[in-house]
Amino acid sequence: MELTELGWKDFFQQQIREQEITMLPARVYRQDLGRYHLFSPQGDLTGILPGRLLQQASSRAQLPTVGDWVLTTPADEADESSVVIERTLSRISKFSRKEAGDRVEEQVVAANIDTVFIVCGLDDNFNINRLERYLFLTRSCGADPAIVLNKADLCPDVVEKIQDLELVARGTPTHIVSAQTGEGMDELLAYIGPGQTVALLGSSGVGKSTIINALLGYARFDTGEVREDDSKGRHTTTFREMCRLASGGLIIDTPGMREIQIWTDESSLSMSFSDVEDCATLCRFNDCKHDSEPGCAVQAAISAGELDPARLESFRKFERELTHLAEKQDASTRAEKKKERKKFARSIRNKPSNRSIP
């Protein structure tokens, strides 16, 4: 395949150094057991990450992930499919979240994507707050979001749900589909032209794998039953994988996410809540909290029916989370620096003296 068919762009070409011209670019489509599975113009390859790159990485987010472009050299002359990953190229986009649990670390879910399909079921899985959370993260990741409402065949009140969604969708393209019947699949295929990359994100049971199977035209991924009482499904996808479509595009399946902890900055607030921030610029005081201060343009807009109070509530919620994340990141940085200082002090104490012994 040509590099452009795999999503290669001038952005990546411009990163190639003179001494790297002979290296082979390849793209990560799956990772397992310490091996990276790669698409390349020479066919599928298996990449090995050398120890020096592991040591140079300050976090897991700097290691290759699905969708990344890497530069490779042959690992074994007898096996042309085995290569060494020499360098990971900078990403044009990435969807990240905070690692699950207490770890204050970024997890890159997918890299170098053009469009994110935020998938939600039109059954009992339908959750506007969850959709708002995915949109908040996606709007700052460098890719375009599109909402995919699956299981239209099971929903008698689609119009009502779309109306409820518009408050948070705010013009984001929304597609009503049924992976079971094929309804709306042509609309989704329009996003995945030659060289275009789409990642599907959503919780378990929304039908991501079923949608991908429908787009591929064959059953590539396992699908599971959904419980009738709560419309939740088990994790049939346990790893991330990128597949090639007959159309020439690429699509990434991801496991369902139970936790969607944010990993972004205040730019997401500006992009997701421009309606709130536009009002806030008209407040009398620069430090207005939008509660009961005199001259608060935000509260005035709410009273006039020009701004939904739920928008201000969501704005405050994400603002608190961003503040909390920044505090945890600062604390983690201080702890890491303290650890490095102690390590350096130990190395000095244990270093043999160069003075001669009389």
CB 23 within 8 A of CB 68: no
Kindly give, in sequence order, each residue whose CB lies less than 8 Å from that of residue 173, ignoring residues fewer than 6 positions away.
145, 146, 147
Q: Are residues 192 and 128 both part of a single domain?
A: yes
253 - beta bridge partners? Answer: 241
Q: Are residues 53 and 117 both part of a single domain?
A: no
pLDDT in tens, 9-39: 999 999 999 999 999 999 999 998 779 999 9
Kindly give, in sequence order, each residue whose CB lies less than 8 Å from that of residue 221, ignoring residues fewer than 6 positions away.
209, 212, 213, 236, 237, 241, 253
Q: Report the pLDDT averaged over residues 287-294.
A: 90
- Cβ of 229: how many Cβ atoms within 10 Å? 7
Q: Are residues 60 and 122 both part of a single domain?
A: no
Last residue of a domain, one of 253, 279, 310: 253
Q: Are residues 82 and 29 both part of a single domain?
A: yes
118 - beta bridge partners? Answer: 147, 201
Tell the residue number behind the tokens 């409820």, with chain if given.
164
Q: Are residues 208 and 271 both part of a single domain?
A: no
**Cα(93)–Cα(196) distance, rounded to whole angstroms?**
13
The answer on pLDDT for 233 being more than 50 is: no
pLDDT band of residue 234 (cuts 50, 70, 90) is very low
Q: Are residues 160 and 214 both part of a single domain?
A: yes
Tell the residue number behind the tokens 């969501």, with chain if given.
314
The percent of residues in the chain predicted with pLDDT above 70, rounded, is: 88
Collapse the DSSP code of 314 into the 3-class scheme (helix H, G, I; strand E, B; otherwise coil) and give the result. Answer: helix
Q: Are residues 59 and 124 both part of a single domain?
A: no
Residue 144 lies in a domain: yes
CB 216 within 8 A of CB 86: no
The answer on pLDDT for 183 being more than 70 is: yes
- Cβ of 296: how many Cβ atoms within 10 Å? 21
- Cβ of 312: how many Cβ atoms within 10 Å? 21
Structural domain boundaries, residue 99: 94-253
Q: Are residues 100 and 248 both part of a single domain?
A: yes
pLDDT in tens, 219-231: 877 665 544 444 4
CB 319 within 8 A of CB 280: no
Q: Report the pLDDT averaged over residues 173-181.
A: 94
**Cα(136)–Cα(278) distance, rounded to whole angstroms?**
17
CB 81 within 8 A of CB 92: no
What is the domain count for the chain? Answer: 3
Residue 259 lies in a domain: no
**Cα(246)–Cα(260) distance, rounded to whole angstroms?**
32
pLDDT band of residue 237 (cuts 50, 70, 90) is very low
Last residue of a domain, one of 71, 88, 105: 88
**Cα(266)–Cα(271) distance, rounded to whole angstroms?**
9
Give the torsion sign (CA, 74, 78, 80, 85): negative
**Cα(69)–Cα(47) distance, rounded to whole angstroms?**
12
Q: Tokens in use for 242?
A: 């990128």
Residue 209 lies in a domain: yes
Q: Are residues 155 and 238 both part of a single domain?
A: yes
**Cα(69)–Cα(23) distance, rounded to whole angstroms?**
12
CATH number, domain of 238, equals 3.40.50.300
pLDDT band of residue 113 (cuts 50, 70, 90) is very high
**Cα(279)–Cα(78) distance, rounded to whole angstroms?**
66
Residue 347 lies in a domain: no
Q: Are residues 83 and 98 both part of a single domain?
A: no
Q: Are residues 200 and 247 both part of a single domain?
A: yes
Q: Tokens in use for 302?
A: 């709410």
Last residue of a domain, one of 88, 123, 152: 88
Phi, psi (rounded to 5 degrees) for 5 = -70, -20
What is the pTM (predicted TM-score) of this model?
A: 0.83
CATH number, domain of 319, equals 1.10.40.50
CA distances from 345 to 282, 350, 354 (A): 53, 9, 18
pLDDT band of residue 125 (cuts 50, 70, 90) is confident
CATH number, domain of 21, equals 2.40.50.140
Residue 258 lies in a domain: no
Q: Are residues 227 and 136 both part of a single domain?
A: yes
Q: Report the pLDDT averaged over residues 116-145.
A: 90
CB 37 within 8 A of CB 28: yes
CB 144 within 8 A of CB 191: no
